[in-house]
A and B are shown apart, each in its own frame.
Chain A
């Protein structure tokens, strides 16, 4: 009986371990359009250890599920900033921001209002 309990405990633990491998996080990311969405999501999905990534064009929320053993929260911000998008903890360098397409210039009021107005 004890052995069975022990076995259950081990099995249960390993399931828990499987579940623990994934961590959910949501953070704000500046951007405007569908092109931005694709750029942000691709940057994250291309990383080993990212299970899924989704950027919401309306709320600007980025939802990421990742494996904390393979990468840190900071790595996510850095990856997004590296393709030119600002996150709460890492801002995109000017030279990376310069690379984003003209219609994605989220720091430009005119571009942002054009997207909302249109």
Chain B
């Protein structure tokens, strides 16, 4: 296949036959957009009513490593950061808001959700990814209620991607086996595999495999703690693809993974004779089994009419512990969670010339069981969450210049009962190549506050909740509903200058929460969790995000591409002043969100298959929780810093080799972990030390822990 389709969703490959673009699961995609392989890696879909960016496989290769959370490193819209200094979990932010407020899906099914809300991004190996569609602003209504800031859909390699590559004229049979190996200075290694085979004219199979790990620990900052946790991940997927006659097709996927991480203090950093049982440690073991069946049908006589179904069953499990439960039980916690669930969806699309509609029924059911142990707060609980949603979305596209999409969904949810979420998207191209878009809508989700912020338990701050019973900190209560309204306006201009293509994009987005679970760090020594509502007396939103961004891409000449972006983010959260110091709720900036973000990216190709690229990211000052015990609110500002990533790649017909550096300027956060070392002598402290017990906190993390890191990798196409 020389070209691939943008914005294609689950059943996209109905169009692999070449005639029909069903786009069944993303009806906002008006037209198929054909992108040449050598086109830019990051493309804005000009015809879509939503602000959609497509991130191609070529672009993903520029990311150093290794999984989905890191694949946004060259993307100006999304920030990637650590949740804490010990668990190695990376999270993303869109509009300064945590990734959980964006709906992250794999081929339109949930993965980064429920027990995997915190870690799911780490379970999608980058080399499995075919493309990513990023929608900034509220997403399509048929995919569920959970999109508030945006939507990220990841398309993985399908059997036909591999088989078609090998069968394409001129490929000489190459392309159905992809191998990848990677190793870095931090001791991480990785091996990935993708293999596709055609069984007959109707069936194809593929396997995707991943094994990664880290066996060798490092402690670059000498605080006695591992910079990155040790452990391994085994992850595999088997996929069967069916293309039948009369418009039938299906894809059936089995997914299994196990991930084990072990972080905390390093035995070798302490005096001989120290036992591992004397140290602070963090462990987390996660597993998933899932089966997904998708079947679709396009009416061969009426290509505007199609039906698609998705059925998914899954089981996610987590088992983690943090701290040292023998020496310092007051500050140790453990969490076991099990989520068994599934989803069933039916979507029906019908078009009549300038009008089209997509309607759907979506049923999700999740049985959660938790066992949380912490001094005074231990609890075991389980509950079932069921959501039955009906949605419909109407598209009116009278001309190429104008598209209006109006949609709404009604959800009956077993926890929060009746919910209605309207959404609207308008696209107007008054002058060719100048496009204006307006989007607005509502979304909601039920939070699992401790699961989603597990890494932030790596602290000796006292965990408190309001109401004081812990049940709603685990989830399942009406108080855990988070609800937001998002409105976004954008302008895009695609220009040609000096025969070369470029684009300019301006956008402003506002997200206002009507209800949210607040993670309050502003009282020294405490971490306080509670639900904030919009008060009926004073209609102040409990959390708001206002952002404005400008980005420009331009191909300077036939081999050089540049990208510049700036974003302003203003986040405000209304906190309860529990101790009555200022005697009222107080609006403060959200922690760990810089106000100013800059990105510059340059890539150049050379003859002979060489490519060089570099990305500079600037993070402005960001508010972090302070340590002054007498202050309220205790806010400090972390300094601004720059991250420089670069890579050199040499490609042949049979693959490539790449050498790169992450954090080339060797920026490192000093004192990433409070209380870890004796402030006088600088020696690492054990959890038995009173100073450690009073001050230990690994969650005030704002910058890189590991300094400059060099990596080497290779892709083989067989």
Distance, CA A50 to CA B558, complexed state (A): 9
B170 at the interface (CB under 8 A from A): yes
B272 at the interface (CB under 8 A from A): no
A35 at the interface (CB under 8 A from B): yes
Q: Name the residue on A nearest B170 (C-beta).
A: A101
Q: Say whether B558 contacts A45, CB under 8 Å.
A: yes
B273 at the interface (CB under 8 A from A): no
Which residues from B are CB-within-8-Å of A35?
A: 2, 169-170
Which residues from A are CB-within-8-Å of B558?
A: 45, 50-52
Q: Say whether B557 contacts A51, CB under 8 Å.
A: yes
List residues of B (479-527) whose CB comes within 8 Å of A's CBs: 499-500
List residues of B (299-337) whose CB comes within 8 Å of A's CBs: none
As a 0/1 sequence over residues 554 to 589 of chain B, the CB contacts with chain A under 8 angstroms (1 = contact) are: 000110000000000000000000000000000000
As a 0/1 sequence over residues 24 to 61 of chain A, the CB contacts with chain B under 8 angstroms (1 = contact) are: 00000000001100100000011000111000000000
A35-B169, A51-B499 are known contacts. Are A46 and B557 too (CB-CB below 8 A)?
no
A65 at the interface (CB under 8 A from B): yes
List residues of A (52-105) whose CB comes within 8 Å of B's CBs: 52, 65, 101-103
Distance, CA A57 to CA B568, complexed state (A): 44
Q: Say whether A52 contacts B500, CB under 8 Å.
A: yes
As a 0/1 sequence over residues 1 to 42 of chain B, the CB contacts with chain A under 8 angstroms (1 = contact) are: 011000000000000000000000000000000000000000
Q: Name the residue on B nearest A50 (C-beta).
A: B558
CB proximity of A116 to chain B, nearest CB, Å: 15
Chain B residues touching A, majority SS: loop
A45-B558, A51-B557, A51-B558 are known contacts. Are A101 and B500 too (CB-CB below 8 A)?
no
CB proximity of A117 to chain B, nearest CB, Å: 14
Distance, CA A65 to CA B557, complexed state (A): 12
Which residues from A are CB-within-8-Å of B607?
A: 46
Interface residues on A, range: 10 to 19
Q: Say whether B2 contacts A34, CB under 8 Å.
A: yes
Interface residues on B, range: under 10
Q: Say whether A103 contacts B169, CB under 8 Å.
A: yes
Which residues from B are CB-within-8-Å of A65?
A: 499
As a 0/1 sequence over residues 532 to 563 of chain B, the CB contacts with chain A under 8 angstroms (1 = contact) are: 00000000000000000000000001100000
Distance, CA A50 to CA B499, complexed state (A): 12
Which residues from A are CB-within-8-Å of B557?
A: 51
Distance, CA A11 to CA B170, complexed state (A): 50
CB proximity of B575 to chain A, nearest CB, Å: 56
Q: Name the residue on B nearest A18 (C-beta).
A: B498
List residues of B (164-220) whose CB comes within 8 Å of A's CBs: 169-170
Distance, CA A51 to CA B497, complexed state (A): 12
Q: Say whether A52 contacts B169, CB under 8 Å.
A: no
Q: Say whether A101 contacts B499, CB under 8 Å.
A: no
Distance, CA A35 to CA B169, complexed state (A): 8
CB proximity of A53 to chain B, nearest CB, Å: 8
Q: Name the residue on B nearest A42 (C-beta).
A: B38
Distance, CA A46 to CA B38, complexed state (A): 14
Distance, CA A12 to CA B500, complexed state (A): 23
Which residues from B are CB-within-8-Å of A52?
A: 499-500, 558
Distance, CA A102 to CA B371, complexed state (A): 65
Distance, CA A35 to CA B499, complexed state (A): 23
Which residues from B are CB-within-8-Å of A46?
A: 607
Which residues from B are CB-within-8-Å of A50?
A: 558
CB proximity of A10 to chain B, nearest CB, Å: 22
Distance, CA A117 to CA B499, complexed state (A): 34
CB proximity of B582 to chain A, nearest CB, Å: 62
CB proximity of B188 to chain A, nearest CB, Å: 36
CB proximity of A65 to chain B, nearest CB, Å: 5
Which residues from A are CB-within-8-Å of B500?
A: 52
CB proximity of B462 to chain A, nearest CB, Å: 63
Distance, CA A52 to CA B556, complexed state (A): 11
Distance, CA A98 to CA B527, complexed state (A): 74
Distance, CA A57 to CA B558, complexed state (A): 20
Distance, CA A117 to CA B172, complexed state (A): 25
Q: Say whether B169 contacts A102, CB under 8 Å.
A: yes
CB proximity of B3 to chain A, nearest CB, Å: 8
CB proximity of A115 to chain B, nearest CB, Å: 12
Distance, CA A50 to CA B607, complexed state (A): 14
CB proximity of B499 to chain A, nearest CB, Å: 5
Distance, CA A51 to CA B170, complexed state (A): 27
CB proximity of B1 to chain A, nearest CB, Å: 10
Which residues from B are CB-within-8-Å of A51?
A: 499, 557-558
Distance, CA A51 to CA B499, complexed state (A): 8
Q: Name the residue on B nearest A46 (C-beta).
A: B607
As a 0/1 sequence over residues 681 to 707 of chain B, the CB contacts with chain A under 8 angstroms (1 = contact) are: 000000000000000000000000000
CB proximity of A102 to chain B, nearest CB, Å: 7
Distance, CA A65 to CA B496, complexed state (A): 14
Distance, CA A92 to CA B500, complexed state (A): 30
Distance, CA A8 to CA B607, complexed state (A): 39
Which residues from A are CB-within-8-Å of B499?
A: 22, 51-52, 65
Distance, CA A51 to CA B3, complexed state (A): 24
Distance, CA A65 to CA B500, complexed state (A): 11
CB proximity of B682 to chain A, nearest CB, Å: 58
Q: Name the residue on A nearest B3 (C-beta).
A: A34
8 pairs of A and B residues whose beta carbons are closest in the complex = A34-B2, A52-B499, A103-B169, A101-B170, A101-B169, A65-B499, A45-B558, A35-B170
Question: Can you add 10 more A-B contacts, CB < 8 Å, to A34-B2, A35-B170?
Answer: A22-B499, A34-B3, A35-B2, A35-B169, A38-B2, A51-B557, A52-B500, A52-B558, A101-B170, A103-B169
- Residues in chain A within 8 A of chain B (CB atoms): 22, 34-35, 38, 45-46, 50-52, 65, 101-103
- Residues in chain B within 8 A of chain A (CB atoms): 2-3, 169-170, 499-500, 557-558, 607
Q: List 10 A-B contacts (CB under 8 A).
A: A22-B499, A34-B2, A35-B2, A35-B169, A35-B170, A38-B2, A51-B499, A52-B500, A52-B558, A103-B169
